[in-house]
Structures are given as structure tokens and as C-alpha cells.
Structure 1
Amino acid sequence: MKLLGISGLDGSVSFKKAQWPGLDEREYRISQGHDSAAALIIDGVCVAAAAEERFSRKKHTGDFPSGAIQYCLSEAGLEIGDVDEIAHGFDYAPYRKVFSVDPITAELYRNVFSPESLAGHVRQRFPAFPPEHIHSVQHHLAHAASAFCTSGWDDCLVVVIDGMGEAHSASIYHAKDNKLQKLHHISANDSIGILYSLVTLHLGFDFNSDEYKIMGLAP
């Protein structure tokens, strides 16, 4: 099995700039899908991985990771047609109705978050790749799986805490027998990660970028 995992939300920042021009440049980072990347897994082993910014030279870019994908394929001596499945680390489809409350959020869903948008980006770069083999995976589930599958344990608790996934800021799973069962989650409205990022922004640093600098200042 050859699985290509990708991250990032192409158009997330540009959509915000088009809708709300004139904001402080740092405010445009209050969005999702930065730091796009690709990883190639063959029979359960990661054989190549790279961040898109290494190829586009755009720091923290969320653009579709074309360069990272080509790097991974080249490292493995493969073509895109050799890949069995593509998995993307966001799944907003269950929240489609939430985004239909007004025209702007509906357009955001359609152009940035929807599975159709993802399929369009894949089709544009790799027109022969079958769309039925493109999968959207819940963000926290992707985090949890990457931790569990590389842990060496077969029965454990997995805790995911970040700024936010699609709608949650923390999720707890019971991992056993190669399965992940969600036990609890915390809403993104109560995100301690977003709070920390807002403090970072307030202190003059970049949201979704410079949080580590604030941690470095803490001692």
C-alpha cells in the first residue's frame, strides 16, 4: 500500500485578504492550513516527507504541496500513478451546514475547506489521479494516528491538543488493536492554544508562527 499524506489549506490566507483587505499583515495569519507538507508511506513505513516551504521559499505557506509531493515521489522512485490513496489532514464535510449561514462563509467552505476544493487541486496538478482515492481525514484523528502508529504501543491513551482542528481544540482517544476510539473533545471556542496565539499576537509577534518565542521568553 502506497499512501500519500498531505496537509495545508490552499487559499485560506488569500481568501481572507480578498474579503478583508487592509488588515495588519499579521492578522491574516489568524487562519487555518499553514505549513503545508507531504509524506509518503509505503507498507506502513514513512519513506519521505517534506514541507512545501522548502520548495516554494514561502515561509509557513499553506499552498497545495506540489513541490513536497514531487520530492517524496522522486525519493521513492515513483510516479503519482503508483500511489494508491491520498489522505488530507482536514475534514470539514460534516460541518458543511454550519458554513451555509451567510454568503462569505459559504464561499470559504466551497473554495477552501470542501472536499471538492481538495479534489480540484489534485486534479489540477495530477489530472489522471482518480478522485475516489482522495480522502479527507479529521484533523485530530490524523494527529492521533501519527502518534499512535509510531509509538510502538498497542494499547494506550492518545491526547491531542492544538489551536484547533475543524471544530475542536483538544481530543482524547483510546488506541487499541490499530483502532482509535474518541472518548472526549473540547470545543475550539475554549482553545488554550488559540489563547496563547492571541497573547503572542498582542505582544507584537506572529500568530500561528512565533509562539515558540514567547515560550523562550517565559524563563
Structure 2
Amino acid sequence: GVPRYVKRKSRENFDIPVKDLISACNEKTKLIFISSPNNPTGNCTPEDEIREIIESVDSRAMVVIDEAYAEFADSSLVNLVTEYENVAVMRTFSKAFGLAGLRVGYGIIPEWLTSPYKKVAMPFSVNSIAIKAAIAALRDPAYLRKTVELVKHERAFITENLQHVFKKVYPSEANFVLADVAPAKSAGVYAALMKQGIIVRDCSSFRGAGDSFIRVTVGTREQNEKVVEALI
């Protein structure tokens, strides 16, 4: 297949231009992929807009929603899988559960898709250690709640403080915050922070992002204070 990219709206909010996305689809469209919360902007796509997209393509195309950061958000679109036959939601243990090194995730998919999936899935896609770790993580919801609460609290701390430094800091429902450092360049800010032992993401490698965005991952209060102090 040939991918077609639909550019998100202006720097005001980076929302999905629903009408443009629908217009970009045709009878050959087989898959629509949406990240919510999105990386690196951190914003979620409202459910009513997702429904509009799903219903516009009927059942001729699958709508796959990447919810890698959903635990940090205030809503999820998992319920849509039970309502539509052409919706799948992808999740991971790499973010909120802290199991990135084990490369384990899961999908919530309609029942009819399980058989086709098994035909193309790798026979040993997840090792036994990763499976045991994932099960253990699911059995400890208290730890997950504590982690999410910490991230949300510290995310607000970073957002509030960086708003005094940069012209635009974006509301986030993920475990990171996006900031526009213009008129500075993201590469320069990244390099300057690296010299202080601080790593942020230079977002210039993201399609259409430009050269003035950095993504700051939420850490502990001590780490976050160090980042804020370095950027002031």
C-alpha cells in the first residue's frame, strides 16, 4: 500500500482536520491510523470526531487507534471496538507500566479479526519473561494508579513553569509536554541541555513539525526542577 499523510491543524492545537482526513480517503483506503494521545503533541482526538471518521469509511477500512499513552489521559476509545466492526485499539506496557525493555503490548480488536491476525503474527512475538511481567503488572493496579497520579501532577508542574518561558506550551494527556522554543531552534536547545546532562526530544524529525519544538518527558520532581531551571 501507499501511505497518505494528513497534516494536523495549525500550531494552535494540532487537532486532526477531520474533513481533510475523510476527503483523503477513497475506495482504495484500507487502513486509517490515529494516535490518541498523539506523539509528540500529547493531545487526544475527541470521540465524536473519531466516530465521524469511522462512519465515513463504513466497513471498507480498518480504523486503528494507538493508545500507547492512554493511561495518562482522562478518556479512552476502547468502547468503540464493541460498537464498530472496523475499529481496533492498540495498547502497550512500555509507558505507564514501565516495561519498555520487554517490548510487550496488546490489542483490543473485533472477534472476526483474531483469525486473520493469527495468520500473520510472528510465532514467538512475546517471550515468557515479558508475559509474566505483564501479568504481574496487571495484578498491581495500585502501582499503576500511583504512577499515573505522579505523572499528571508533575506534568502540570512542567507545563505551568514552562509557560513562563516559552510562547507556547501545549496541554498534554501523555507523559510528556511539548513546547515551542521559537525564536530559538530545537536542535540548539537540545544540544545546550545535553551539555548539562539533560535529554529532551528535538522534534524536528517528526513529519511537518518544523525546527522549534522540544518534547520534555515527565520525571521526578527533582528531575523536573532541573529541567525547568536549565530552561529559564
Does the alignment reach a TM-score above 0.5? no
TM-score by length of 1: 0.36
Instruction: Looking at secondary structure, tell me which structure has more strand per residue.
Output: 1
TM-score by length of 2: 0.35
